[in-house]
Amino acid sequence: MRNQLLGLLFGIILSGAVHAAGGAINPILDDRFTFRLGATYMDAEGTFSSTIKGEPTDKLSTDDLGIDDGNTTPYFGFRWRFADRWRLSFNYFGLDNDGSVRQDFDELIFGDINAKGFLAVDTSFKTDFYVTQVGYSIFKNERAELGVGAGLHIVDFNTRLKVSGEINGIGGSKKSDTADLTVPLPNVLGFGTYAFTPRLSLDGSIGWFGLDYNDYSGNLVSLSANLEYRLTDHFGIGVGYNYIDMNLDIEQSNRTDKYDLEYQGPVLYVSAGF
């Protein structure tokens, strides 16, 4: 699915860039400042774990913990075109979801919780993405631009489990533990914009990160696409989609956190450009 989305998005943008000739300029290609404010309905699918060093790792899936529905959270975007071909952008979006299950577990390990049998598990699962990017347009004309750049995905995880049952060999116990960490992930990116008409435009970006350094290892692929309609030269509405595929291992002083997750969901927003 990811490869099909990537190919479709940049096939459209590249085709427009190659064949563009003349036509009215959409303001999105020239606005110095662009703001987007809206909401995203995002869900996550995959596994995560947090274990004390030396203990076996038990992967907890989002489905097993009842985190199988999306949730609506705020979305914010900002772009500053500080030169004709240079841009600085910032985006925020996230996931804030809870899950609750009552079922048998062969073994559930999370932090210093080691539980088994019939368990009541309540989960709070929150991830915030703060994305800052600097880009340069290597191609730009009246209708389109294509560029490359570098950026930083700051990912803030907060996962909390409350477990009731047989915990650490004691029946009828209750215990909770939290994995709370912030990870800066540098990435390279490609981006593009194509103006179909003076009012309608498509823009998108692809980011990639791969790292094996000190306490961090893994990779991240991000995709965003937005279709925007300008009601006036300065104000518009848009719909978009965000997708992130992340596989990370983070070594801390007394624990190892592992995340193998896909985040995805649509975005609705209003925009202002000047």
- What's residue 36's pLDDT? 98
Q: Does residue 53 carry a pLDDT above 80?
A: no
Q: State the DSSP code for 54.
A: T
What is the rounded average pLDDT of the residues 127-156?
94
Q: How far apart are CA 270 and CA 231, in angstroms?
A: 10
pTM given for the model: 0.84
Tokens 């700051």 belong to residue: 154
Q: What is the pLDDT of residues 229-266, one digit of tens each?
A: 999 999 999 999 999 999 988 887 777 788 899 999 99
What is the rounded average pLDDT of the residues 80-94?
95
What is the rounded average pLDDT of the residues 36-45?
95
Ramachandran region of residue 66, left (φ > 0), alpha (ψ -120 to 50) or beta?
Answer: left
Burial of 26 (0-12, 13-18, 19+ CB in 10 A): buried
Q: Does residue 175 carry a pLDDT above 80?
A: yes
What is the rounded average pLDDT of the residues 68-85?
91
Q: φ and ψ at 252, to 5 degrees?
A: -115, 180
Counting residues of the chain whose pLDDT is more than 90, the rounded percentage is 57
CATH classification of 2-273 is 2.120.10.30, yes or no?
no
- Ranges 33-42, 144-153, 178-187: which has the least confidence: 178-187
Residues 160, 126: contact at Cβ < 8 Å? no
